[in-house]
């Protein structure tokens, strides 16, 4: 994967994910300072975390549709510009209402990222490399969350929380310049791609063994997105996302409010779960491709990784609910992150094998929309549980239960027989 021009594409997508999650995690890292400055309580902070996903979910779907119609280069370019702009605009917020509006608009900009990344990978990587490509490019996301803790935390402590958002916005616009310079929608359109690499990619793209299928194009999109296999992938993705957004939104507050760490200590210790998540992303991709190489069964290789990842994560999250030691709690959360983050890359690559390439952007956008409804529910529910319910323990137990639900729904809906029937439509 790192010998040809597609490695440049992988690096661009890696850094896009890194910046995306650096932006997204910034508010949770700065939450103690923002709450104090703007006089916001835990329930209101939960609403702020959740409202980001109102615009985000809608544009997951619209971004995927746009990537199919206009190409990922144009869609990702506009998305990066919008999210960087409104990330910087967070520095201008003077009260809860202002911050609420900015977060919704910020979410609109970030919405297309996941599906556009998946569309880019489907265009640029052969089937045998899909797992590693998805794992590597998406590994930038938790790494961005890891970097957010020390970078945003220390900048906020020394220069104020508002300056940290301006710095991140500038980084986003710098990435945008490189994206427009180096990326094209397909290798066929790029002069720097060799004939050998172009031929390899074109003939071995996932879900497109014989190029674009007129039959698949004539079939209604909704036959794909409402099929059991696609809904099964979306269900597993939703349950993973509930855990992800619980950690992304509330982990810094958990470490400061429940484990009584100061912001400086939280900024350093808070790196560990996200480093673990990075290992999970990359490791999950390598493992799923290795299983596929040994068994020749693409579906099995992805399902095994999702089953094992969510099961081990569920146990670790459940045990955290009863942990009063910061060392034990952070160790369990880090271990949960390693295994939970094997799930999304397996979901993305599984979807590429189920849905034809000319439908992957829109179908992926629909899956991402359903999966990211967890972003609306998880932070808000957690905030109310902390303030009015059973505290952090009940929040950890609910996240653990949903991981087990994800396993059950994936096993029930994503079966070889139903996948074969869906492929037969094309």
Q: How far apart are CA 301 and CA 245, in angstroms?
A: 26
- Stretch 68-77: mean pLDDT: 89
pLDDT given for residue 311 in this prediction? 95
- Domain assignment present for 396: yes
Q: How far apart are CA 331 and CA 329, in angstroms?
A: 5
Domain span holding position 351: 6-207+216-424
Residues 221-278 pLDDT 10s: 677 777 888 899 999 999 999 998 898 778 878 888 888 887 777 767 878 888 888 8
Contact 137, 17 (CB under 8 A): yes
pLDDT given for residue 400 in this prediction? 94
Which residues, listed in sequence order, are joined to residue 209 by a DSSP beta bridge? 211
- Domain assignment present for 377: yes
Q: How far apart are CA 425 and CA 274, in angstroms?
A: 40
Would you place residue 174 in the very low, low, confident or very high pLDDT band (cuts 50, 70, 90)?
very high
Q: Is 211 helix (H, G, I), strand (E, B) or coil?
A: strand
Both tokens of 413, joined, read 């809906």
Residue 89 predicted with pLDDT over 80: yes
Residues 27-38 pLDDT 10s: 877 877 888 888
Cα 279 off chain centre by: 15
- Domain assignment present for 358: yes
pLDDT given for residue 71 in this prediction? 87
Cα 215 off chain centre by: 31
- The total of other beta-carbon atoms located within 10 Å of residue 197's CB is 18
Would you place residue 212 in the very low, low, confident or very high pLDDT band (cuts 50, 70, 90)?
very low
Please tell me the total number of residues recorded for the chain in this structure: 426
pLDDT given for residue 220 in this prediction? 67
Residues 277-313 pLDDT 10s: 888 888 887 888 888 888 888 888 889 999 999 999 9
pLDDT given for residue 385 in this prediction? 87
- Stretch 318-333: mean pLDDT: 90
Q: What DSSP designation does 112 have?
A: T
Q: How far apart are CA 213 and CA 129, in angstroms?
A: 22
Q: How far apart are CA 238 and CA 243, in angstroms?
A: 9
pLDDT given for residue 218 in this prediction? 55
- Domain assignment present for 1: no
Residue 209 predicted with pLDDT over 50: no
Main-chain phi, psi angles of 211, to 5 degrees: 80, -165
Would you place residue 210 in the very low, low, confident or very high pLDDT band (cuts 50, 70, 90)?
very low
Contact 101, 52 (CB under 8 A): no
Question: pTM above the 0.75 mark?
Answer: no
CATH of the domain at 282: 1.20.1250.20
Both tokens of 17, joined, read 């994910």
- Structural domain tally of the chain? 1
Q: Alpha helix (H) ranges present in 113-269? A: 113-124, 130-159, 161-182, 195-203, 214-218, 221-225, 228-253, 263-269
**Between 368 and 107, where is the model more confident?**
107
């Amino acid at each position: 994967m790192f010998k040809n021009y597609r490695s440049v594409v992988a690096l661009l997508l890696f850094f896009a994910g890194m910046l995306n999650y650096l932006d997204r995690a910034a508010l949770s890292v700065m939450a103690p300072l923002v709450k104090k400055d703007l006089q916001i309580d835990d329930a209101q902070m939960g609403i702020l975390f959740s409202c980001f996903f109102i615009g985000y979910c809608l544009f997951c779907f619209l971004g995927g549709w746009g990537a199919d119609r206009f190409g990922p280069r144009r869609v990702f370019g506009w998305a990066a510009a919008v999210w960087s702009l409104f990330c910087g605009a967070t520095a201008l917020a003077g009260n809860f209402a202002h911050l609420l509006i900015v977060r919704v608009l910020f979410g609109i900009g970030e919405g297309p990222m996941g599906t556009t990344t998946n569309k880019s990978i489907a265009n640029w990587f052969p089937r045998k490399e899909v797992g590693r490509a998805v794992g590597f490019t998406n590994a930038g996301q938790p790494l961005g969350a890891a970097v957010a803790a020390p970078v945003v935390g220390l900048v906020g402590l020394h220069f104020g929380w508002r300056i940290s958002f301006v710095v991140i916005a500038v980084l986003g616009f710098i990435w945008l310049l490189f994206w427009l310079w180096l990326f094209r929608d397909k290798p066929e359109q790029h002069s720097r791609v060799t004939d050998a690499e172009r031929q390899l990619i074109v003939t071995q793209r996932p879900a497109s063994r014989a190029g674009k299928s007129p039959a698949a194009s004539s079939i209604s999109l909704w036959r794909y997105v409402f099929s059991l296999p696609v809904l099964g992938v979306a269900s597993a993705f939703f349950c993973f996302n509930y855990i992800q957004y619980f950690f992304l939104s509330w982990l810094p507050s958990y470490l400061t409010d429940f484990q009584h760490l100061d912001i400086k200590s939280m900024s350093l210790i808070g790196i560990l779960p996200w480093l673990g998540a990075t290992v999970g992303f990359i490791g999950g991709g390598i493992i799923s491709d290795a299983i596929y190489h040994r068994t020749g069964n693409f579906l099995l290789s992805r399902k095994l990784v999702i089953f094992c990842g969510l099961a081990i994560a569920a146990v670790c999250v459940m045990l955290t609910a009863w942990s009063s030691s910061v060392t034990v709690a952070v160790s369990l959360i880090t271990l949960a992150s390693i295994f939970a983050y094997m799930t999304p890359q397996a979901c993305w690559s599984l979807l590429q094998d189920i849905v034809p390439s000319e439908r992957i952007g829109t179908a992926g956008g629909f899956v991402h929309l359903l999966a990211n409804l967890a972003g609306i529910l998880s932070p808000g529910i957690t905030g109310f549980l902390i303030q009015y319910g059973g505290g952090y323990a009940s929040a950890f137990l609910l996240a653990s239960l949903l991981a087990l639900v994800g396993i059950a729904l994936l096993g029930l809906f994503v079966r070889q027989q139903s996948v074969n029937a869906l492929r037969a439509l094309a």
